[in-house]
Amino acid sequence: MERTERILDLVALLLDAREPISWAELREHFPSDYGGSDDAAERKFERDKAELVELGFPLTYVQGDDERRDGYIVDRDAYYLPEADLTKEELAVLYAAGSAALASGAFPGRDDLAHALRKIGFFAGESLPTPRVRMELGAVQEGEEKEVSARLEQLWDACAARKWVDLTYASPKHPTATQRKVDPYGLALRRGVWTLVGHCHLRGGMRTFHVHRIREMKVNTARPRTPDFQVPEDFSLDAHVAYFPWQHRFHEPMEVTLRLSGALASRAGSLLPGAMLESAGEEGVVRARMRVSFLDGLVRFCLALGPDCRVEGPESAQARHKEMATRIVERHEEPHEKVSA
């Protein structure tokens, strides 16, 4: 029997068992594979068992007692996922988001996602029409989707297998591309931009890399079943990949207070997630206090919201808000002056 077939049969046998299976019973079920000398059979089973554990199969050996015997058993709670128990409306939203990701042309794990969407359609109990939506990738130029998609698949596999990658990276901070050896911890999509987060050996610390700026890439193929690194237990993608423009790390964090009025006051929570909101003592006015590490990003966001969003503090932030607003007004006035002349 081929090894892959034996592994699958072994999984089926263990999942079907209602009580621990002894080593003797395993040898009876697989006489041609675990037959022969005891030492050879045990070595082959240990290799199979190691592969199952590496694949995440929760196989354990239990010592018998008065209620059960010695043997191998599967932790079913760890193996089977709990019921998601989603409503039809939630399934429809999830299906739409997944379909948009597939239509983007550059999304890692596409086969797994397509399989998951088929399952969602099945459990919905009725036909779910394919939504006419598409996730736009803002930084990917026309014709680059296939190249970026291929790199995402490579990085997806490298993150899962915990294998280091060698990158040729074109950073806007450097005139020429640099070679980077990176331990890939995770991938994140924020506002149309795919970002790799990992430990950069060249810089000796955590760094982020925009996938569309990777010019060449190779994944370490040595010892494919052995991880090259361990992801720190406290690692979080959100701590390194900005979701909002004011979260980019361009300077030391500072606390900024905004004043939102009119229709913006009721939407403050959704517009500024994570901000501390408080009443300003005026009807229809809310103050929002937030930590900012890119002031210009926040000011641009405020200006886009209109006059109902103002910067109240600190003074340096107020001055920057006034400066950028004045610059916008001046640029809009320039063409009119030329025409009138």
42: CB partners within 8 A, 6+ apart:
23
Give the pLDDT score at 240: 79
Q: What is the pLDDT of residues 251-304, one digit of tens each?
A: 888 999 999 998 899 888 888 888 899 887 788 899 999 998 889 889 988 998
Closest CA to 279 of 307, 302, 260, 305: 260
Other beta carbons within 10 angstroms of residue 6's beta carbon come to 16
Helices (H), 17-109: 23-29, 38-54, 76-79, 88-103
Q: Which residue has the higher pLDDT, 10 or 238?
A: 10
Q: What is the mean pLDDT of the chain?
A: 84
**Tokens describing residue 131:** 């939504």
Residue 231 confidence (pLDDT) above 90: yes
* Residue pair 148/140 in contact by the 8 Å Cβ criterion: yes
What is the band of 323 on the pLDDT scale with cuts at 50, 70, 90? very high
Q: What is the pLDDT of residues 99-154, one digit of tens each?
A: 887 777 778 888 888 888 887 776 666 655 555 555 555 555 566 677 888 899 99
Lowest mean pLDDT across 88-97, 98-107, 201-210, 229-238: 98-107
What is the band of 68 on the pLDDT scale with cuts at 50, 70, 90? confident
Calculate mean pLDDT across residues 239-257.
Answer: 79
Give the pLDDT score at 340: 43
Other beta carbons within 10 angstroms of residue 49's beta carbon come to 16
Calculate mean pLDDT across residues 329-341.
Answer: 60
Distance of CA 228 to the CA centre of its chain: 20
Lowest mean pLDDT across 48-52, 80-84, 128-132, 170-174: 128-132
What is the band of 314 on the pLDDT scale with cuts at 50, 70, 90? very high
Calculate mean pLDDT across residues 149-176.
Answer: 90
Q: In a 10 Å sphere around its CB, with 0-12 CB exposed, 13-18 middle and 19+ buried, how is residue 283 labelled?
A: exposed
Give the pLDDT score at 132: 57
